[in-house]
Structure 1
Amino acid sequence: MGDVLSGKPTWRGARPNLPAGPVVSLAYKVPVAKRGELLALLSDAFPFYERPGGIRMGLYESRDEPGLFLEVVAYASEADREADDLRLETPAYKEVLANWHALMEGELQVMRLQPVELGASALEIAPASPGDIEAIWHQRWGLPVHTLHRHFWPGEVQGLGAFTGTGLLRGLITWAQEGETVEIVSMDALEPRRGTGTLLLEALEKQLFAEGVRSLRTMVSNDNGDSTAFFQKHGYRLVEIHRDAVERIRQAKPSIPERGKYGIPIRDLWELRKEL
């Protein structure tokens, strides 16, 4: 609960990795004396609400008025929101809601929101938390993430995220430093071809150059021509093909598929480098 929502000085709280579907915001007041009861209730209620999948909850508290809370309920799709509405009629949900309402003073303000498409220029680049990294990796890569010589867990890398003004995470780049070289471990743009990847890569290169880093490398599997083209467009050069590297990694991570994009067998890692 204590993390500051970057760029939003009025509210403090958790910044969830929100899905890109409909959002419901709930604003309400709780007596300061009952604040602890509310947090205890929601600590159990949030996992309960999220369990069916397709739902992500976030909680914020006003900096200026303690006890004034904003809950954000984000859905992966309209179908997930409609299914959640039906679950509200079940006895278990009604019990949680009754306990929640009992803590409030004043009226509950509900707002239903629809996502608005924004270009990369509207995104804020900010450090990504281990929770942000874990959420994206779990969704897109599986844990841990393997590169040529080792595997990484979310807490072992640094990350930059591309966030909308409401905290939606729309892209992520992670890296780890080995000696004088930095390896880009992962790059994810959740809405491809909108400039998010370029924004993240340029921000990372600028930051690393200021820190004295002069060499960057990344590994791309042989089926991923789109990523290879992206990095080459930004000045990276193919320096080595590590034959059968993915075959060796697959022994430790059997979930890696045999075939990837365009049905190409996934066997090798291509190493690309750039001198800053």
Structure 2
Amino acid sequence: MESCVAAVDIPVIGSLNGASLSGWAETARRMQETGAAALEVNPYAVPGDLGVPGSAIEERHVEIVHAVKDAVSIPVAMKLSPFFSATGTVCHMLDAAGIDGLVLFNRFLQPDIDIETMLVRPAVTLSAPYEAGLARTWIAILRGHVRASLAATTGVETGADVAKYLLAGADVVMTASALLRHGRSYAATLLADLSAWMERKDFATIDDFRGLLAIGTDVHAGDFERAGYVAALSHAKETYGDFLVRA
């Protein structure tokens, strides 16, 4: 961390994953001491114990927030899984616990099966734009309902993908897969494409359109989503024909 901070002129955000509350806190403290401007805590874990209730997993996330926030004075964000039973409730819990940012969503590494050797193989795949829909949906729902900043991750391949996340209400848009595919200089391409789109749409600043397509705070999110579901089915029928089986 220290060498990275010394090598660049931009703020460096440290990402950490821990196993115990004391480990989370101590690692966070050391990263702040070595120059991190902010932290992203990443509680990457697949709950394999079938006896652990969802409420215990949610409470563990809150405990991690308290432990890290008590250990440092810099901003702290949490990278979330998309697999909570009530994502909105969890986000409200973390917001109340004092988290400064929510990163939506983490991508779990899912192994593959080799049917010839009959072995489980590790698999690391880069994200694709089609995966961004879930994160955009929740950012649009959460915009205006939480104090924490909203960071978008997953499925950012083009400037258009950046614009979509910003229209949904993201404060920050992140990408790793696009840079791994195209190289570090591709970041400039993303920014140039976003600027060109903004010029075509007569937006002078990002704040002119950030959250323009978020779900309003006076709109019932459930009703909004239901209307979207019905509209999607109608569009699918127009596109693919009457594929619905009626009882």
Which has more strand, going by share of residues?
1
The TM-score, its normalising length taken from structure 1, stands at 0.24
Q: Which has the higher contact order (CA 8 A, sep 6+)?
A: 1
The TM-score, its normalising length taken from structure 2, stands at 0.25
